[in-house]
């Protein structure tokens, strides 16, 4: 019913064009709740309603929901003239964009991937609905928040949240895992104060803990299964 995507300047939420509006609102609420604080809070959100027609009240409801979960409403994508007028009246930027296909994709989006070659610096946030591969460092004070797994080919010293939309199978791998904090799905762990090793490591959820093991050990457990 709804699909969430990482976009260049924030997140994009695509809304089913025919489903009942109340059902959509509750789907959104569930999704925002799932994302916990980090995936959505602070993000700039673009709402794509396709050819739907929304009235003032419907738009106000969704905006209120977004604000409640800490999002900044960015713009509204719609091909529908009345919806555009309503959105403009509410102070949103509107763009006319038609969808490639009428249906929102869903299940496979978590398999989408993004490759970045850069240093993610203090104060910068990378948000993406799928898997993130970063060639470079995540510095202290930086955040990477992904719906899927996060691979850092470099030093991870900032905060990474994998599986931020609820996937507990998500992994976090880094050549040097020395984060201020790790999150997978709804679990949070911080690095023990006795420092970290400088061999590649993998963090994953086991039971209701996040465990970290060196890559070689993780690889052996994989081989067994």
Partner 1 sequence: MARVITVTSGKGGVGKTTTTANLGTALARYGARVALIDADIGLRNLDVVMGLENRIVYDLVDVIEGRARVRQALIKDKRLPEMYLMPAAQTRDKDAVNAEDMIALANEMHTDFDYILIDSPAGIESGFRNAIACANEVLIVTTPEVPSVRDADRVVGLVEASEKGPPRLIINRIKPRLVSRGEMLSVDEVVEILAIEPIGVVPEDEVILSSTNRGEAAVFNAQSIAGRAFDDIARRLRGEEVPFMDMSEQPGVLERWFGGLFRRRAKA
* List of residues contacting partner 1 (CB under 8 A): 119, 121-124, 136-137, 139-141, 155, 157
**Shortest separation between residue 136's beta carbon and partner 1, angstroms:** 8
**Shortest separation between residue 123's beta carbon and partner 1, angstroms:** 4
Q: Tokens for 23? A: 């059902």
- CB nearer partner 1, residue 9 or residue 22: 9
**Shortest separation between residue 17's beta carbon and partner 1, angstroms:** 36
- CB nearer partner 1, residue 135 or residue 217: 135
- CB nearer partner 1, residue 80 or residue 176: 176
Q: How many CB atoms lie within 10 A of CB 213?
A: 15
Q: Tokens for 101? A: 């296909």
Rounded Cα–Cα distance for residues 138 and 76 (Å)? 32
In 3D space, the residue among 112, 116, 182, 190 whose CA is nearest the CA of residue 147 turns out to be: 112
3-state secondary structure 73-142: EEEEEECCHHHHHHHHHCCCEEECCCCCCCCCCCHHHHHCEEEEECCECCCCEEEECCEEEEECCECCCC
**Shortest separation between residue 119's beta carbon and partner 1, angstroms:** 5
**Shortest separation between residue 122's beta carbon and partner 1, angstroms:** 4
- CB nearer partner 1, residue 81 or residue 123: 123
- CB nearer partner 1, residue 27 or residue 196: 196
Rounded Cα–Cα distance for residues 151 and 166 (Å)? 18
């Amino acid at each position: 019913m709804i699909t969430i995507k990482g976009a260049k300047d924030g997140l994009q939420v695509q809304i089913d064009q025919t489903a009942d509006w109340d059902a959509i609102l509750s789907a959104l609420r569930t999704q925002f709740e799932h994302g916990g604080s980090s995936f959505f809070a602070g993000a700039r959100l673009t709402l794509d309603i396709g050819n739907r027609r929304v009235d003032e009240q419907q738009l106000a409801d969704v905006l209120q929901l977004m604000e409640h979960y800490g999002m900044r409403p960015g713009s509204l994508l719609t091909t529908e003239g009345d919806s555009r007028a309503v959105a403009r009246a509410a102070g949103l930027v509107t763009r006319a964009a038609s969808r490639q296909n009428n249906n929102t994709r869903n299940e496979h989006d978590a398999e989408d991937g993004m490759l970045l070659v850069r240093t993610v610096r203090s104060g910068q946030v990378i948000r993406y609905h799928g898997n993130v591969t970063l060639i470079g460092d995540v510095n202290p004070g930086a955040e990477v928040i992904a719906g899927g797994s996060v691979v850092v080919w470099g030093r991870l010293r900032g905060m990474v949240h994998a599986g931020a939309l609820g996937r507990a199978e998500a992994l976090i791998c880094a050549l040097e895992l020395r984060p201020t904090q790790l999150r997978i799905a709804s679990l949070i762990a911080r690095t023990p104060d006795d420092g970290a090793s400088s061999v590649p490591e993998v963090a994953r959820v086991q039971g209701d803990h996040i465990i970290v093991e060196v890559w070689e050990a993780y690889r052996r457990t994989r081989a067994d299964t």
